[in-house]
């Protein structure tokens, strides 16, 4: 079976954000007429018209949809907490299905069970907390085989901007849990995605994808997931999810207290390279390497602060294109979040650096004190993972040469987002040792100054 790209159809239906558009035969999508990024899905099934997570349908829009597909017979929700979305349709006689309620799904829909929610609350802008709270059944995704070579309808767990799923740092689950979620979606082998949150395309998000430097070239078309396409559907779903699994696009907001120095109101979400590595406010990114996205750096204000008040530790992670495509940005995000959770946001700067020349063994993470030494906690973390690099090189039939050894003397290779809490715990212990009189032994970092490492982005 060949994959068919989803393309908007039914061009005779007047277009507008709140007007349903037939995006595939028997599938309509529309956006919340009240604003926001919520999108609804309608399916013409043998059981009648089924709506999934439907935002409001204004009278004219509903008449248009029901005129084309018959009356709304069922509403299916991906989370029980979204029940208010179903109310206008339930009031006019539609049956409502929610996770955790016994009874078959209408219209041949199937459930994609998602991993149990972490203890943290899952948030999506405009959606509140997600599953796993107060005994609420977990969120599910819904799968409809007859359309789009397998149409996967996702709920609050997978916000999308344009064609790109985004990881909203601090609101999404920890990166390792997010990866489990993406794996669960991939297990459905979907041909097309219909996300419940699909904002219009944003160039900054496109420029944050793993193949950003190749966008628009034939290389990009061959190798990367699409970054352009209809707002109301995402073709090549498996490629999109695979790329999200390996190189998620991270969105950040200014940290509380910093936002007030900028614009009034809630800070906007920024694609990672355009957010200051310390405060998260908008800034100009630095260079890019290895065909990847731009590399974030400090904003001018934070640069001034760090000249006079350097952090106790810098965690440096390669953010070149090759490392980005195997998860380096997710590692950076995980370390940033772990440091914040430990109350070390001011003591530890998480610094993306450019290509270290060892692209085959990324993501690479190193740590330096203000004096340019490797703290003992970081050295222990690195040494404990040395064997796996050797085994990896053997499996890949690669040689760790003298250049590799130089990098491996300072950086841990093949770091995964789930290892960030351990690294930060070790660093916290090192900092406590320093605070108790600076007695903690630190390994010298060969040939490195206090604030610059190989590959460090300019003005970081």
How many angstroms from the chain centroid is the CA of residue 53? 22
Task: Write b or e for each residue in 120-148: b if 16 or more Cβ atoms lie within 10 A of its Cβ, otherwise e.
Answer: bebbbbebebbbbeeebebbbbbbbebbb
Residue in 42, 166, 322, 420 binding ligand FES, rule: CB under 6 A: 322
358 binds ligand FES (CB under 6 A): yes
355 binds ligand FES (CB under 6 A): yes
Smallest separation (angstroms) from ligand FES to the CB of 332: 12
359 binds ligand FES (CB under 6 A): yes
367 binds ligand FES (CB under 6 A): no
323 binds ligand FES (CB under 6 A): yes
Using CA atoms, how far residue 226 sits from 38, 212, 327, in Å, is 21, 11, 19
18-26, 40-48, 353-361, 396-404 -> range binding ligand FES (CB under 6 A): 353-361
Our CB check for ligand FES shows the closer of 64 and 316 to be 316
Our CB check for ligand FES shows the closer of 165 and 292 to be 292
CA distance 257 to 36: 25
Number of neighbours of residue 67 by Cβ within 10 angstroms: 9
Our CB check for ligand FES shows the closer of 322 and 415 to be 322
In sequence order, the 6+-apart residues with CB closer than 8 A to the CB of 318 are 328, 352, 353, 354, 355, 356, 362, 363, 364, 365, 411, 455
215 binds ligand FES (CB under 6 A): no
Helices (H), 207-327: 218-223, 237-246, 300-308, 321-324
Our CB check for ligand FES shows the closer of 249 and 290 to be 290
Count of helix runs (H) and strand runs (E) in the chain: 13, 23
Residue in 320, 366, 372, 454 binding ligand FES, rule: CB under 6 A: 320
Smallest separation (angstroms) from ligand FES to the CB of 380: 23
Residue in 179, 208, 241, 290 binding ligand FES, rule: CB under 6 A: 290
Residue 240 zone, left/alpha/beta (φ > 0; ψ -120 to 50; rest): alpha
Smallest separation (angstroms) from ligand FES to the CB of 458: 16
**Which residue, judged by CB position, is nearest to ligand FES in the bound state?**
320
CA distance 286 to 242: 27
Smallest separation (angstroms) from ligand FES to the CB of 316: 11
Smallest separation (angstroms) from ligand FES to the CB of 353: 8
Using CA atoms, how far residue 99 sits from 44, 83, 112, 138, 156, in Å, is 21, 11, 11, 7, 14
Our CB check for ligand FES shows the closer of 39 and 322 to be 322
Reading the block at residue 167, the tokens are 């990881």
Element (H, E) at 424: helix 420-435
Reading the block at residue 126, the tokens are 């405009």
CA distance 143 to 166: 21
Beta strands 164-168; 140-144: pairing state: unpaired
Our CB check for ligand FES shows the closer of 152 and 355 to be 355
Phi, psi of 384 (to 5 degrees): -65, -20
Smallest separation (angstroms) from ligand FES to the CB of 148: 35
The DSSP code for 440 is S
19-27, 67-75, 122-130, 351-359 -> range binding ligand FES (CB under 6 A): 351-359
Our CB check for ligand FES shows the closer of 131 and 363 to be 363
Smallest separation (angstroms) from ligand FES to the CB of 357: 6
Q: Which of residues 414-443 bind ligand FES (CB under 6 A)?
A: none
311 binds ligand FES (CB under 6 A): no
Smallest separation (angstroms) from ligand FES to the CB of 247: 12
Our CB check for ligand FES shows the closer of 203 and 458 to be 458
CA distance 25 to 18: 19
What's the chain's length in residues? 460
Reading the block at residue 387, the tokens are 């064997």
318 binds ligand FES (CB under 6 A): yes
Smallest separation (angstroms) from ligand FES to the CB of 435: 33
> Under a CB-based contact definition with an 8 Å cutoff, are residues 358 and 396 in contact?
no
Q: How many residues bind ligand FES (CB under 6 A)?
A: 13
Q: Which residues bind ligand FES (CB under 6 A)?
A: 290, 318, 320-323, 355-359, 362, 364
């Amino acid at each position: 079976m060949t994959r068919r790209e989803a393309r908007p159809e039914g061009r005779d239906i007047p277009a507008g954000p709140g007007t349903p558009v037939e995006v595939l035969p028997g599938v309509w999508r529309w956006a919340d007429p009240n604003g926001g990024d919520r999108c609804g899905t309608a399916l013409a099934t043998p059981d009648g018209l089924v709506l999934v997570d439907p935002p409001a349908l204004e009278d004219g829009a509903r008449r248009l949809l029901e005129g084309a597909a018959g009356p709304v017979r069922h509403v299916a929700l991906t989370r029980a907490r979204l029940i208010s979305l179903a109310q206008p349709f339930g009031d006019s006689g539609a049956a409502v299905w929610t996770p955790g309620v016994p009874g078959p799904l209408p219209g041949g829909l199937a459930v994609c069970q998602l991993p149990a929610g972490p203890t943290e609350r899952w948030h999506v802008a405009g959606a509140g907390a997600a599953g796993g709270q107060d005994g609420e059944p977990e969120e599910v995704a819904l799968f409809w085989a007859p359309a789009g070579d397998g149409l996967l309808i996702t709920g609050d767990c997978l916000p999308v901007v344009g064609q790109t799923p985004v990881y909203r740092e601090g609101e999404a689950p920890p990166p390792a849990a997010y990866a489990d979620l993406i794996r669960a979606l991939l297990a459905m082998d979907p041909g097309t995605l219909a996300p419940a949150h699909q904002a219009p395309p944003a160039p900054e998000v496109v420029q944050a994808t793993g193949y950003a430097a190749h966008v628009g070239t034939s290389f990009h078309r061959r190798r990367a997931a699409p970054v352009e396409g209809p707002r109301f559907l995402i073709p090549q779903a498996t490629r999109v999810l695979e790329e999200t699994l390996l190189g998620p696009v991270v969105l950040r907001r200014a940290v509380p207290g910093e936002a007030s120095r900028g614009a009034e109101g809630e800070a906007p979400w920024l694609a990672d390279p355009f957010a200051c590595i310390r405060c998260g406010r908008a800034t100009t990114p630095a260079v890019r390497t290895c065909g990847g996205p731009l590399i974030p750096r400090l904003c001018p204000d934070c640069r001034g602060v760090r000249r006079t008040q350097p952090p106790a530790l810098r965690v440096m992670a390669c953010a070149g294109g090759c490392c980005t495509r195997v998860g380096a940005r997710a590692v950076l995000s995980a370390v940033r979040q772990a440091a914040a959770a430990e109350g070390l946001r001011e003591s530890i700067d998480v610094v993306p650096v450019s290509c270290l020349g060892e692209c085959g063994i990324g993501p690479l993470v190193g740590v330096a004190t203000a004096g340019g030494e490797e703290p003992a906690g970081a050295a222990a973390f690195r040494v404990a993972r040395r064997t796996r690099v050797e085994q990896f090189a053997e499996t890949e039939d690669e040689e760790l040469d003298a250049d590799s050894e130089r990098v491996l003397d300072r950086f841990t290779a093949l770091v995964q987002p789930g290892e960030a809490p351990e690294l930060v715990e070790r660093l916290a212990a090192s900092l406590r040792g320093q605070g108790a009189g600076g007695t903690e032994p630190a390994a010298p970092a060969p040939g490195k100054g206090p604030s610059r490492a190989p590959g460090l982005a300019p003005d970081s």
